[in-house]
């Protein structure tokens, strides 16, 4: 066998070994399983914060009617704090509960106590808005990945809300301080036009969510974190 033939056979043999190794390696590659963290019987706990423009309106009303003698008064708004859960009774349906709390508080003010010479009263006003509702959501799109799941949904929550307004005296007798006694309870709703939640298997089911909707809990965008079991 001459050198040319020997080299040709050697190259042919090497090529055969490389092709065989490549085919063996390809045969050993197993596609990663795509995770569905929001399947039937999954439960997601979540908490977040939203936006409620009516709180600014309520604060302005308190300032105009009860703090007119204090033009520099400030109303401090605590945006809605939302906490709840979703239980997946079906692959595309969930039921749950959601609680929301928000408030408007004036800064503390001091007025003289004309009934007790030399004394004064320190006070502030507080408006608290809370709600408790049951929720139903329809999951119309899922994106399953090997390490996480995205779920898009829409839904409706129904329940009750309570608006409570009070005058808080922190020092003195409160003489001369205008009272605020408000307590209103009625039906409430929250419509989720579109929402998305994302949980990651590597983080033991922790993730985030974002909802766009309107109602007694929030108007506009609500965002936060979640944990899916």
List the pLDDT tens digit at each of the 229 positions of the chain: 555 454 444 545 455 555 555 554 544 555 667 778 899 999 999 999 999 999 999 999 999 999 999 989 999 999 999 999 999 999 999 999 999 999 999 999 999 987 888 789 999 999 999 999 999 999 999 999 888 999 999 999 999 999 999 999 999 988 889 999 999 999 999 999 999 999 998 888 999 999 999 999 999 999 999 999 9
Residues 11, 50 share a domain: no
Residues 207 and 153 in one domain: yes
Report pLDDT for 35.
77
Residues contacting 35, CB < 8 A, separation 6+:
144, 145, 146, 147, 148, 149, 201
Beta bridge partners of 200: 148
In terms of domains, do 107 and 24 share one? no
- Residue 176: per-residue pLDDT: 87
Neighbours of 222 (CB within 10 A): 24
pLDDT score, position 99: 98
1 and 66 co-located in one domain: no
Element of type H or E holding 44:
strand 43-49
Structure-token match 């003195």, residue found: 172
Q: How many helices (H) and strands (E) does the chain have?
A: 2, 9
pLDDT computed for residue 6 by the predictor: 47
In the chain, the number of structural domains is 2
Range of the domain at 47: 36-228
Whole-number pLDDT of residue 20: 55
**For the whole prediction, is pTM greater than 0.85?**
no
Query: For residue 56, how many other CB atoms are within 10 A of its CB?
Result: 12
Judge if 23 and 121 occupy the same domain: no
pLDDT of residue 2: 52
Looking up residue 217, the CATH number of its domain turns out to be: 2.40.160.20
């Amino acid at each position: 066998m001459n050198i040319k033939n020997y080299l040709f056979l050697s190259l042919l043999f090497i090529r055969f070994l490389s092709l065989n190794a490549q085919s063996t390696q390809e045969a050993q590659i197993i596609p990663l399983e795509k995770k569905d963290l929001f399947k039937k019987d999954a439960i997601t706990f979540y908490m977040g914060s939203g936006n409620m423009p009516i709180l600014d309106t309520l604060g302005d009303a308190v300032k105009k009617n009860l703090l007119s003698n204090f033009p520099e008064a400030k109303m401090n708004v605590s945006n809605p704090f939302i906490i709840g859960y979703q239980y997946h009774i079906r692959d595309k349906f969930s039921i749950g509960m959601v609680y929301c709390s928000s408030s408007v508080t004036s800064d503390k003010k001091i007025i003289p106590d004309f009934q007790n010479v030399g004394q004064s009263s320190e006070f502030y006003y507080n408006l608290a808005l809370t709600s408790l509702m049951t929720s139903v959501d329809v999951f119309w799109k899922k994106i399953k990945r090997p390490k996480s799941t995205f779920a898009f949904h829409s839904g409706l929550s129904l329940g009750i809300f309570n608006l409570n307004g009070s005058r808080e005296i922190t020092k003195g007798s409160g003489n001369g301080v205008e009272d605020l006694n408000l307590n209103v309870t009625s039906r409430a709703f929250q419509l989720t036009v579109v929402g998305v939640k994302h949980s990651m298997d590597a983080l033991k089911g922790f993730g985030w969510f974002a909802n766009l909707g309107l109602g007694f809990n929030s108007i506009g965008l609500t965002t936060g974190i979640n944990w899916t079991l």
